[in-house]
Amino acid sequence: MKASTSSYDGRVTARRPRRRIPEATVARLPVYLRSLLELTGTDTATISSERLAEMAGVNAAKVRKDLSYLGSYGTRGVGYDVEYLLFQMSRELGCTQDWPVIIVGVGNLGHALANYRGFADRGFPVGALVDADPAKVGERVGGLVIRGIEELPTIAAELGTCIGIVATPAQVAQEVADRLVAAGVSSILNFAPAVVNVPPDVSLRKVDLAIELQILSFYQQRRAPLAAKVALPPSPSVPAPATGDVRAPGVVPAALAATGETSS
């Protein structure tokens, strides 16, 4: 496979032939990237695998293994060059260019996503807002005018290669995904609490906040003291039985209860 080239610090650098990167490593690369970005402006020139592991919440051996897939092995006793590592990760993650985002479904979640400025800062500017509700079409949110869902093919053509975000109710999520695929969108992020199927050549990621909360609940209840899980309301205070009375406290014979009499 012929190696391609890319630019770093004004210089053209040879890019090694692509090797397969495990999905688990791909999922950690953005965490490493975020950690390295936190160092910008701190005059930190190099970073050790131990320090990067601490910032990312993983172990150092895993960091070294993950970075080896990028062709970055570091220098013993020195660590990794922060600036070059940022360049490598940004290049591998496709963050050296902007990827416009189409948000479909402008309800409460859609509004929040549209107004979130962090997307543009990371290279994912919101390029269009789409909704199937005619009452919402024409409304301005986050500096953009909501467009009708029938305009998806036109919007995708205008934006070029882009990413679709599904922020609709669960019952229409599959239909929206189908429309995005038909419009030529090949990368989809699904926020709807539903299983969505896409063709093999389409990348799909799912974010289900309810599932994440349920997982946290699982661990939370396991940390709670056993007594707290089985605690019963306190029993009412009952006088001690008279000497020779072997009935349990508070128990009144049915015959006495029926006549309205009380035991003595």
On whether residue 257 sits in a domain, the answer given is no
pLDDT tens per residue, range 170-184: 999 999 999 999 999
| pTM tops 0.75, yes or no | no
Per-residue pLDDT, 227: 47
On whether residue 9 sits in a domain, the answer given is yes
On whether residue 113 sits in a domain, the answer given is yes
Per-residue pLDDT, 14: 47
Per-residue pLDDT, 263: 45
Q: Structurally, how many domains does the chain consist of?
A: 2
Per-residue pLDDT, 117: 87
Same domain, residue pair 9 and 83: yes
Ranges of residues in the chain with a pLDDT under 70 are 1-18, 225-264
Q: State the DSSP string of the chain.
A: ---EEEEETTEEEEEPPP----HHHHHHHHHHHHHHHTTTTTT--EE-HHHHHHHHTS-HHHHHHHHHTTT---BTTTBEEHHHHHHHHHHHTTTTS---EEEE--SHHHHHHHT-THHHHTT--EEEEEES-TTTTT-EETTEEEEEGGGHHHHHHHH-S-EEEE-S-GGGHHHHHHHHHHTT--EEEE-SSS-----TTSEEEE--HHHHHHHHHHHHHHHS-HHHHH--PPPPP-PPPPTT--SPTT---HHHHHHT----
Domain that includes residue 140, residue range: 101-212
Per-residue pLDDT, 42: 87
Same domain, residue pair 68 and 135: no
Per-residue pLDDT, 148: 97
Per-residue pLDDT, 222: 86
Same domain, residue pair 106 and 87: no
pLDDT tens per residue, range 34-55: 999 998 878 889 999 999 999 9
On whether residue 166 sits in a domain, the answer given is yes
Question: CATH number, domain at 132?
Answer: 3.40.50.720
Same domain, residue pair 121 and 61: no
Same domain, residue pair 59 and 151: no
Of 70, 92, 114, the last residue of a domain is 92
Residue 236 region by backbone torsions, left for phi larger than 0, else alpha for psi between -120 and 50, else beta: beta
Beta-bridge mates of residue 104? 130, 166
Buried b (16+ CB within 10 A) or exposed e, 67-82: beebebebeeeebbbb
Of 73, 92, 111, the last residue of a domain is 92
Same domain, residue pair 23 and 60: yes
Per-residue pLDDT, 114: 95
On whether residue 218 sits in a domain, the answer given is no
Return the DSSP state at 248. Answer: P
Per-residue pLDDT, 253: 42
Of 92, 111, 139, the last residue of a domain is 92
